[in-house]
Structure 1
Amino acid sequence: MASLSSKKSRNEKSPKKRGEKRNNEALTLDEVRKLGNELLSSRAHLNNLPVLLSLLSPSPRSLDAALEAMISLQSFFLPLLPEMKSTGDDEDPETVFKTWLKERFKEFTGLLVEVAVSSETDEALTEVVLDALMDFVKLGKNGSFQYEMYHNLIKSVVHSASPIDDVLNLLQSKFFKYADVRYFTYTSMEKIAKFIDTKATEPGMPSSDNEEQLKVKNEAAIRNAYSVLSGVPPLDLSPEANFEMWSEHGISSKEDKASTKPSTSVITKKLKLRFTKAWLSFLKLPLPLDVYKEVLATLHQNVIPCMSNPVILCDFLTRSYDIGGVISVMALSGLFILMTQHGLEYPKFYEKLFTLLTPSVFLAKHRAVFFQLLDSCLKSSYLPAYLAAAFAKKLSRLALSVPPSGALMIIALTHNLLRRHPSINFLVHWEEENKTADGSGEGNEANDDGKETAYKPVNHKKRSGIDPFNNEEKDPAKSNAMRSSLWEIDSLRHHHSPAVSRFVASLENDLTVKAKTTEMKVSDFSSGSYATVFNDEIRRRIKQVPLAFYRTTPTSLFSESDFPGWTFWSQPDENKMENVVEMKSIAEEIDQTNVKRQRVEA
């Protein structure tokens, strides 16, 4: 009976509470200010605390009343933070009061996080709420960074179902500049990323629906996590870096508090370690395609230089490089840095790079960076001749199917290849037969693996008009590039674009004499398009304008040079001309007879 009476009493009180809540929302600004002043003046008005808490919501009825309530609550809790440690007997009134006060403070900070992250919150209220929350983070533990509170904020931002642009912009502009805020941001992101891709399901929900909803939530959380990580400014790695701290003790541990302030090198080392762990945890997630591409596009600039050991990214980059297509093109930048600056060995690097040379790469968004890296990868003088020849031949074959800007790029890359590797200059001028003075064939010897050992290819029976190069072969060593020639480049002399036909003439120079030639800057051509080619052409000053008539009257439709082995009569035959004149006179007589007949009949 006692339990029933207690339930009845609670049920009777609930309507009164709902009525009180409605009355609280209808309070005027002066009434809210009066409640705040009473709460700050004496403990006798502690009942005002729940009333002021009820006024905080993402979309309050009165913005001014919510701001006034929040400022009063902040002024009330800040001086009491050191006194909230519940020590002593549980029956002690002071201990009970501190416990109650801690629960109200926890409720208050939870409301601050909810209001700050919500998209329904006014921009002015968001800024004030975030400032108050970061003040509690700063002063929560006697000058130490209140990590638990800050972690709840970052976790709510990452898992928010609404846009996070407003709160993220405030964090970037006001708080991410502090070293300890960055440090604990990376710490939170490492923990959050580990639990984003969880397979846990909520009870009472169908498994199929639950999995689909979980997938959508995880994808949104991954996008928000990337926004937070990329929003933190890059680390200043210079020795003169000055790290400003938000809290009093910064990122110092308990052992460091009694000692002197940690040096710049120590702070940098700690930040790089947390930065590395946060990014590694994030890169293990199933990234959406657009996020994946954006990560690869900025990884070599914003992530690799700030990591404690960049080589640990080799698994992620090699896995991305093996995917193919645009993903491989974008992963090339980071992989190239690891190979050239951090000693990464990747044996099949050039084979993968060879397969990336497709017509679609000339239309890719990041083609400028790709072609500059391609030129850098082929710069080494230790590159085997067969490998340099394979890339030169692959590029020249692509010249037949790419836009004019791509043809200009190919000519520049081929020019650099021929200049750096004189052993493949025979591809420019290929003789059908290599014979000695006595008529016997002379060729170079080959190794057991079939690769050429000298500058010229192995002697073989070559049929005129047949190219032995296999454009579909993925292994450059088996493409037969050394047995071919750059006839595709020669065909560019007759390209429809004047810029291409003029530029290909640069390959006529003797590129083996490096003192007389210079390498071409690939960056000058890597961003070309139809628009750039057209603009360059219309800016040229033309001395001779193309005319719509022949300077000399042609005597035949085709010239003999166009069709070797064919002959065309160029001078008119006298007998044939007499027959033509006779036929014309007969036709004229017939026409005159018909005209006279028509007149007579009329």
Structure 2
Amino acid sequence: MACVDPPRKKKKGRYGVAELKTLGNQLLSSASHINNLPLLLTFLSPSSPPHHVLESLLSLHSFFLPLLPKLPSSSSAAAPSAADQSEFIYLTWLRSKFDEFLKSLLDILASPQSDETLKELVLDTLMEFVKVANGGAFHSALYHKLLLSIVRSTSPATFFVDLLESKYFKYIDVRYFTYISLKKLATTLEGKDASDDKIASADGPNESQLSSNMECFIHNMYYTISHVPPLQGSNNTSDLEMWSSSESPPSESDHKQLSGDVSVDDKLLKSKKPNKNVLSAAKIAKKMKLKFTKAWIAFLRLPLPLDVYKEVLVNLHQAVIPHLSNPIMLCDFLTRSYDVGGVVSVMALSSLFVLMTQYGLEYPNFYEKLYALLVPSTFMAKHRARFFQLLDSCLKSPLLPAYLAASFAKKLSRLLLSVPPSGALVITALIHNILRRHPSVNCLVHREDGVDEGKSDHRTDEGSTANSDNVKTSAIPCQKPGIDHFNSIETDPKKSAAMRSSLWEIDTILHHYCPPVSRFALSLGNDLTVRAKTSEVNVGDFSAGSYATILGAEIRRRVKQVPLAFYKASPSSLFSETDFAGWTFKCEEIPEMTNGNNERSTKDLS
């Protein structure tokens, strides 16, 4: 039987849908029309019309599907006997055409010119080959090529990943081999990153192109790995639905198939015996956790773009850490992220707090880093609500040293002078909880002139300064101002001298222009050491506040007494002299300016 590609008498553009359908029916009806196979393969390309691609795809799919168990592997080198030599040559030729068929399907899948409906049909065809091409076992090598084509595409992989999620990610074996493939892809990208830097150093434009391609690959990989649902706890193996017809769940050695060709699949298939020891649901869950962990750890080693980096940090404590086999493996990634500072540290705090409280992670400089995050920009960050709740949880421990609680209380009170009203509400709630939990720092509330040890020295210094300066003594207030020993610039809370200071900033918000802030600040005047009569404030009720929430709450509030502005005599100035002791507000008129204004008014009247 001749299996040589015949010369094409007709040009490719002269074939219509009816003729392609006739060629497909002839191929399926008789082996004498086997030469129609290479002709139909020529229409499987991204540049071909979609209806031509569709007709050829349907015919070739129906032709190859029953022949797949008979086809040899691509790298098979076994010498057949003389009797079977012709049959072996024929099947080898069919195998080469099947590989060409798969390559054409992957090209259509990755092409931005292809129609989405056609891409969905191609994806379903490839997944069916994954299901049956290995004699009922999962064809991991073919599935790896499919994921490689999706991730390495220069266009977003959202369409394909959404299709896989809706149709195939519910199967346990599909998820299992997805983690294995993504781990290998991430390892490959990590290795190519260093070689790409060497190439880019010799050519400037090549560097930007390589970095943009790498960034697109990482985006596609993150979208894929974040949409694979982790295995939930199940005690029944029958609940774990499989995509392949194999009765046994994926074995630990199946990931080795990815490093070889389809021949490895055939060898494993031939060496398999009937399954007698079905793995329990607990063992399957353990395997899935292991593959899940390896895939995520390999992905986090990549040079993540900033948007992906932030999104990973936001979702890590909920979507990743509970499903890892050993969450402590993330400590290096999270500590490096926490040391970056700014909004990145705020995002990394959630996952780091989970590791410290639930998995026993020790971080010696945790409170020093947390203290450095208390800056005005934090109160306007996007994820500030979660940060303030975690800050309140971190300061809840009764074993917290007094100097540390005082440093946080003083740093927060200093921020009252520069944050918006929503931030002032959060700070008041945090200080309220600190004073109630740590009675040893309540001495900061009503301390007026610093600590007792330094009173005499400070008064002596102030007295000598007052005696030596006799100029404009009338402008000095009657009361001597206290000295604040707190060093707001110091980054180490041990050296901030907060215990020698006072929370004088709280007195400023008692006269705040925003009524909810001033009303809430009155709660700090209560004796918070009496724990039976006081309770902690839920910081979550204030952490996500803004001008809109404050205004909405104030509008909905029922007001019993409305303040009125009443003056017995018309005021002559904006501020009275009693408001600012020692200050005067006078406006001296210049005679020349007065005369000029009078002359100008006279001209206007005339």
Once the two structures are superposed, the pairs formed by residues 368-447 of structure 1 within 5 Å of their partners are: 368-432=385-449
Change (3 A) 1:257 1:223: farther
Cα pair 2:450 2:482 within 8 Å, conserved? no
Aligned to 2:30: 42
Aligned to 1:214: 210
Deviation of the 1:342 alpha carbon: 0.3
Aligned to 2:373: 356
Change (3 A) 1:139 1:304: same
Change (3 A) 1:25 1:233: farther
Deviation of the 1:328 alpha carbon: 0.5
Aligned to 2:60: 73
| 1:181 maps to which of 159, 171, 174 | 174
Cα pair 1:52 1:69 within 8 Å, conserved? yes
Q: CA deviation digits over 1:231-270, x for unaligned, max 9?
A: 2123313546832111123413567852233211111111
Cα pair 2:200 2:206 within 8 Å, conserved? no
1:60 aligns with 2:56: no
Structure 1 SS opposite 2:45? coil
| 2:316 maps to which of 296, 299, 302 | 299
Deviation of the 1:205 alpha carbon: 12
1:346 aligns with 2:345: no
Q: CA deviation digits over 1:419-463, x for unaligned, max 9?
A: 1111111111114377xxxxxx7x6xxxxxxxxxxxxxx988456
Change (3 A) 1:240 1:389: farther
CA distance in structure 2 between the partners assigned to 1:57 and 1:290 by the alignment: 35
Cα pair 2:71 2:92 within 8 Å, conserved? yes
| 1:236 maps to which of 232, 239, 243 | 232
| 1:245 maps to which of 221, 242, 245 | 242
Q: Which moved more, 1:394-403 or 1:156-165?
A: 156-165
Aligned to 2:103: 110
Q: CA deviation digits over 1:185-232, x for unaligned, max 9?
A: 111111111121414369999643433322222111111111111121
User: Residue type matched to 1:330 in 2?
Assistant: M
Change (3 A) 1:431 1:166: closer
Cα pair 2:449 2:482 within 8 Å, conserved? no
User: Residue type matched to 1:81 in 2?
Assistant: L
Once the two structures are superposed, the pairs formed by residues 144-293 of structure 1 within 5 Å of their partners are: 144-197=137-190, 198=192, 199-200=194-195, 207-239=203-235, 242-249=239-246, 250-252=249-251, 258-293=275-310
CA distance in structure 2 between the partners assigned to 1:496 and 1:204 by the alignment: 58
CA distance in structure 2 between the partners assigned to 1:330 and 1:205 by the alignment: 33
Change (3 A) 1:501 1:59: farther
Q: CA deviation digits over 1:256-303, x for unaligned, max 9?
A: 852233211111111111111111111111111111101101011111
Please report the RMSD computed on the Cα atoms of aligned residues, expressed in angstroms.
Answer: 2.8
Deviation of the 1:556 alpha carbon: 9.5
Equivalent residues, number = 531
Q: Which moved more, 1:189-198 or 1:547-556?
A: 547-556
Cα pair 1:419 1:519 within 8 Å, conserved? yes
CA distance in structure 1 between the partners assigned to 2:573 and 2:244 by the alignment: 91
1:89 aligns with 2:80: yes
Deviation of the 1:351 alpha carbon: 0.2
Q: Which moved more, 1:550-559 or 1:347-356?
A: 550-559
Aligned to 2:347: 330
User: Residue type matched to 2:122 in 1?
Assistant: V
User: Residue type matched to 2:141 in 1?
Assistant: E
User: Residue type matched to 1:196 in 2?
Assistant: L
CA distance in structure 1 between the partners assigned to 2:364 and 2:104 by the alignment: 56
Deviation of the 1:54 alpha carbon: 1.5
CA distance in structure 2 between the partners assigned to 1:120 and 1:555 by the alignment: 77
CA distance in structure 1 between the partners assigned to 2:583 and 2:113 by the alignment: 83
Structure 2 SS opposite 1:102? helix
Change (3 A) 1:391 1:504: same
Q: Which moved more, 1:30-39 or 1:559-568?
A: 559-568
User: Residue type matched to 1:316 in 2?
Assistant: F
Once the two structures are superposed, the pairs formed by residues 489-508 of structure 1 within 5 Å of their partners are: 489-508=506-525
TM-score (norm 2): 0.82
CA distance in structure 1 between the partners assigned to 2:200 and 2:415 by the alignment: 58
Q: CA deviation digits over 1:464-502, x for unaligned, max 9?
A: 432111111111010011011111111101111111011
CA distance in structure 2 between the partners assigned to 1:155 and 1:554 by the alignment: 79
Q: Which has the larger radius of gyration?
A: 1
CA distance in structure 1 between the partners assigned to 2:207 and 2:104 by the alignment: 30
Once the two structures are superposed, the pairs formed by residues 135-150 of structure 1 within 5 Å of their partners are: 135-150=128-143
Cα pair 1:400 1:488 within 8 Å, conserved? yes
Cα pair 1:59 1:122 within 8 Å, conserved? no
Q: Which moved more, 1:80-89 or 1:551-560?
A: 551-560
User: Residue type matched to 2:69 in 1?
Assistant: P
Q: Which moved more, 1:108-117 or 1:152-161?
A: 108-117
CA distance in structure 2 between the partners assigned to 1:31 and 1:266 by the alignment: 54
CA distance in structure 1 between the partners assigned to 2:584 and 2:188 by the alignment: 80
TM-score (norm 1): 0.83
Cα pair 1:116 1:167 within 8 Å, conserved? no
Change (3 A) 1:352 1:124: same
CA distance in structure 2 between the partners assigned to 1:238 and 1:417 by the alignment: 43
Deviation of the 1:557 alpha carbon: 7.8
Q: CA deviation digits over 1:505-544, x for unaligned, max 9?
A: 1111111111111111111111111111111112222233
CA distance in structure 2 between the partners assigned to 1:509 and 1:391 by the alignment: 20
Cα pair 1:25 1:55 within 8 Å, conserved? no
CA distance in structure 2 between the partners assigned to 1:432 and 1:64 by the alignment: 88
Change (3 A) 1:406 1:557: closer
User: Residue type matched to 2:54 in 1?
Assistant: L
Deviation of the 1:560 alpha carbon: 7.2
Higher RCO, 1 vs 2 (CA within 8 Å, ≥6 residues apart) = 2
Change (3 A) 1:547 1:187: same
Cα pair 1:393 1:486 within 8 Å, conserved? yes
Change (3 A) 1:466 1:165: same
CA distance in structure 2 between the partners assigned to 1:517 and 1:37 by the alignment: 85
CA distance in structure 2 between the partners assigned to 1:72 and 1:556 by the alignment: 93
5+ residue gaps, structure 1: 1-12, 435-440, 444-457, 569-602
Change (3 A) 1:542 1:73: same
User: Residue type matched to 2:163 in 1?
Assistant: L
Structure 2 SS opposite 1:196? helix
User: Residue type matched to 2:544 in 1?
Assistant: S
Deviation of the 1:553 alpha carbon: 7.3
1:468 aligns with 2:455: no
1:308 aligns with 2:325: yes
Cα pair 1:354 1:476 within 8 Å, conserved? yes
CA distance in structure 2 between the partners assigned to 1:206 and 1:94 by the alignment: 53
Structure 1 SS opposite 2:510? helix
Q: Sequence identity, in percent? A: 57
Q: Which moved more, 1:404-413 or 1:82-91?
A: 82-91
